A = this chain, B = another copy of it.
Amino acid sequence: MSGKFLGIDIGGTKVMLALVSAEGVTLKRNRMETRAEDGPRRVVERIAGLARETTRGEEITAVGLGVPGPIDFSRGMVTLAPNLGWKNIPIVDLFAEHLDWPLFLENDALVAAWGEKTLGAGQNFDHFIYMTISTGIGGGLILDGKLYRGAYGTGGELGHMIVDPSGPACGCGNQGCLEVMAAGRALARMGREALEQGQWPEGPSPEGITGSTITSWARAGDQPSLKILNRQARYLGLGLANLVHILDPQAFVLGGGVMEAADLLLPRIQAAMDDYLMPGYGRRLQLLPARLGDIGGALGAAMVARDFIPKK
């Protein structure tokens, strides 16, 4: 295997690029703001410009592109990307106006999962589940050593597993999805509820409460904040236990902004998951933090281009 691969990871606020050799060595990184409000045509034009800059003087074998939403592979379209305000955007055609490298489109959580598989925490596993926990919760399944996309490319939507049908409303239209119970926004919501209940008598204003304030207070030993973290970990543990019973993976690799508090969260998630697992399940299961950070999606996109573009 030889050649160089460009990975592009389009997120709601930023776009990450990584130029990676066939051996998996990162040669260059770049980032830009997405500014989705400019519309897909302008966004793609700017990404293409930065891609050319990032790859100047290099021969590129292929490009991998991670996008935050389900994909219609047959038409090279992003079906729906709420974070970008995109619906049925012919992203492959838009890029083809600017770049003539072979382009491989994939869901952003799946490319991040493939990054962890090829270069990160998932290298030793044939069956693992990558979960990203930030504002929302996304997932990517690696089964039998391969990306598992599902029949129509929409598998791995772990954040919309319903874990409590009487829970709060989720943006997706259901109630009590894992995402609404346990992602970054859930921390802020539980924080505001705790404030209303008078848990911090000399406390902050409701606007001052975010996921990261709760986390930092918990780190300082604040009891109401620790309770909130425990509730979050409880739902995450329940979700992971469900996935163990369904898919019996070797490991979970957990990434995303919320995992910056991995030291606080992982032991709590582990304890909750163990509590929910049936006897005999999960004994050899590993719970690991992702290793590649916020460049993981772009690295994974490059490795997807390396590993899944049909050879000529």
List residues of chain B with CB within 8 A of the CB of A152.
Answer: 248, 284
Contact A243-B246, Cβ < 8 Å, known A143-B148, A164-B165, A172-B278: yes
Contact of A246 among B156, B238, B279, B284 (CB under 8 A): B156
A155 to B284: give the CA distance in the assembly, Å.
14
Q: Is the CB of A149 within 8 A of B246?
A: no
Residue of B nearest to A173 (CB): B278
Q: Is the CB of A248 within 8 A of B149?
A: yes
Q: How many residues of A contact B (CB 8 A)?
A: 47
Interface mask (A269-305 → B, CB under 8 Å = 1, otherwise 0): 0000000101111001000000000000000000000
List residues of chain B with CB within 8 A of the CB of A227.
Answer: none
Contact A158-B246, Cβ < 8 Å, known A80-B279, A173-B278, A278-B172: yes
Contact A247-B155, Cβ < 8 Å, known A150-B127, A164-B165, A165-B163: yes
Q: Is the CB of A161 within 8 A of B245?
A: yes
CB distance from A267 to the nearest CB of B (A): 21
CB distance from A14 to the nearest CB of B (A): 25
Q: Is the CB of A162 within 8 A of B160?
A: no
Chain A contact residues, CB within 8 Å of chain B = 70, 79-80, 126-127, 139, 141, 143-144, 146, 148-158, 160-166, 172-174, 238, 241-243, 245-250, 276, 278-281, 284
A-B contact pairs, 10 of them (CB 8 A): A70-B280, A80-B279, A127-B151, A148-B247, A150-B247, A150-B248, A156-B248, A161-B246, A165-B238, A166-B166
Known: A156-B246, A157-B245, A162-B163. 8 other contacts (CB 8 A): A70-B280, A149-B248, A152-B284, A153-B248, A154-B245, A158-B246, A162-B242, A163-B163
